[in-house]
Amino acid sequence: MTTIGFIGLGLIGGSIARAIRKHHPDYKILAYNPNKDTLITAVSEHVVDIPCDKTDIRFQECDVIFLCAPVNANISYLKTLKDIISSDIILTDVGSVKGTIHQEAVSLHLDANFIGGHPMAGSEKTGYENSADYLIENAYYILTPCETVKPEKALEFQKFIRSLGALPLIMSPSEHDYITAGVSHLPHIIASILVNEVKQLDGPSEYMKMIAAGGFKDITRIASSSPEMWQHICLSNKDMILKTIDKFDELLMTARACIADADKDGLYSMFESSRYYRDSITDITSASNKSHVLYCDIYDETGGIAAVTSVLAQHNISIKNIGIIHNREFEEGVLKIEFYQEDACKKGAAILKQNSYLIHRRT
Ligand SMILES: NC(=O)c1ccc[n+]([C@@H]2O[C@H](COP(=O)([O-])OP(=O)(O)OC[C@H]3O[C@@H](n4cnc5c(N)ncnc54)[C@H](O)[C@@H]3O)[C@@H](O)[C@H]2O)c1
Ligand SMILES: O=C(O)C(=O)C[C@]1(C(=O)O)C=C[C@@H](O)C=C1
């Protein structure tokens, strides 16, 4: 029997625990979370087997412990767990910054046990109540094993992550921190600034807030993310984030100059270059690990999901997975439906369209 521990059972911890329960129903799951109600719910849903205290001696039984609290809390847990855990445990975290926790693992002589982790999936929503067993499905899951981790241990953990439906990708902590500063940390800072900018510019009528449409909403969804989480990330990945801010500043000033100078060619080439590059970014669900998914707009009303599933059932179309998703690019109320086969997905889309549902497929 494999035993897995969790410290922090929020959006990401809860989603990984649910994915383990789904793919490895016989594994034993122990969890600590400061909010006890979360643990009670997780036990009642059979996601967690044993609710634990912060320094619970039963964490000794674990083969793997996932640290799923905010970045700095994960770092401080290494010291707390050091005297409890078994000598061949795999300790991992899901934090959005890797350099600082690696430094702590090395200084505590836990490096032979430590494999940093970071699922590149999430949401602006927090907490166990928003967790889902499919959250990390088809998402890149960055792994940063310490150099002293035995290769067979690292390989075994990589296989485990793949078994949960995620796509493991190995890199060094510094490479991780550089890349995520560019594609995750700076975008969150910019989203937050954009919202604060509108807040400051808007007049007493609040027309800006009222008419803000798809463009503003798309680019600022992540401004609703957890302030605590992003405070920790900015404090932990300071140098890399400052580099990306400098680059952003340079490009913003170039755009400013193009506008001030009415530089037609400069403006055209800025928009043309970003459009070309953005169009080349594919959704991995449509690449080699293709899953047969469609997104369906539903009304936020009782029975909305049941109506969709019964239309599909009437045509003998089986659903592999279904759920409301929050980490997405479409509007509120989108239902994600996964099918076993591409044919079933296409047929399902056609039938739902005939029934006046608005269907999206990602390219
Ligand atoms: N939200 C995302 O999109 C996302 C994506 C990938 C990775 N991450 C990382 O995952 C981690 C958790 O983020 P989340 O989105 O699940 O946040 P969350 O707020 O949903 O969950 C955090 C959980 O940790 C618990 N917690 C807080 N302080 C704690 C402490 N000192 N000790 C133990 N538990 C504590 C909270 O009660 C909560 O249940 C963070 O390190 C974050 O950087 C987040
Ligand atoms: O989709 C979102 O809401 C996210 O912000 C997820 C997201 C990101 O893409 O930046 C946020 C933080 C992470 O560490 C990893 C993923």
Q: What is the CATH classification number for the domain harbouring 322?
A: 3.30.2130.10
Q: 6-20, 228-242, 278-292 — which is least confidently predicted?
A: 278-292
Residues with CB under 6 A from ligand 2: 96, 120, 122-124, 184, 222, 327
How many structural domains does the chain have?
3
How many whole angstroms separate alpha carbon 162 and alpha carbon 131? 19
CATH number assigned to the domain comprising residue 81: 3.40.50.720
33 lines ligand 1 (CB under 6 A): yes
- Ligand 2 centre distance from Cα of residue 170 (Å): 18
- Are 11 and 99 found together in one domain? yes
Domain end: 235, 259, 279, which one? 279
Retrieve residue 215's tokens: 């463009």
- Are 248 and 117 found together in one domain? no
The minimum-distance atom of ligand 2 relative to the CA of 327 is 1
Retrieve residue 332's tokens: 């509120």
- Are 89 and 34 found together in one domain? yes
Name which residue sits closest to atom 3 of ligand 2, judged by CA.
123
Among the listed residues 126, 106, 114, 118, the one whose alpha carbon sits nearest the alpha carbon of residue 9: 126
- Are 253 and 315 found together in one domain? no
pLDDT digits (tens, 9 = 90+) for 165-207: 999 999 999 999 999 999 999 999 999 999 999 999 999 999 9
How many whole angstroms separate alpha carbon 5 and alpha carbon 251? 45
How many whole angstroms separate alpha carbon 90 and alpha carbon 114? 6
How many whole angstroms separate alpha carbon 36 and alpha carbon 57? 18
Q: Is the pLDDT of residue 9 over 70?
A: yes
Name which residue sits closest to atom 9 of ligand 1, judged by CA.
95
- Are 155 and 216 found together in one domain? no
Among the listed residues 65, 100, 120, the one whose alpha carbon sits nearest the alpha carbon of residue 232: 100
Domain end: 251, 279, 307, which one? 279
Domain end: 263, 279, 295, which one? 279
What is the reported pTM?
0.84
- Are 154 and 10 found together in one domain? yes
Range of the domain at 18: 3-171
Retrieve residue 142's tokens: 């960055």
The ipTM value here is: 0.98
Ligand nearest to the Cα of 327, by number: 2
How many whole angstroms separate alpha carbon 208 and alpha carbon 206? 5
Q: What is the mean pLDDT of the chain?
A: 93
- Ligand 2 centre distance from Cα of residue 273 (Å): 24
Retrieve residue 174's tokens: 């510094």
- Ligand 1 centre distance from Cα of residue 247 (Å): 29
* pLDDT tier at 287, thresholds 50, 70, 90: very low
- Are 85 and 159 found together in one domain? yes
Retrieve residue 344's tokens: 């079933």
- Are 61 and 30 found together in one domain? yes
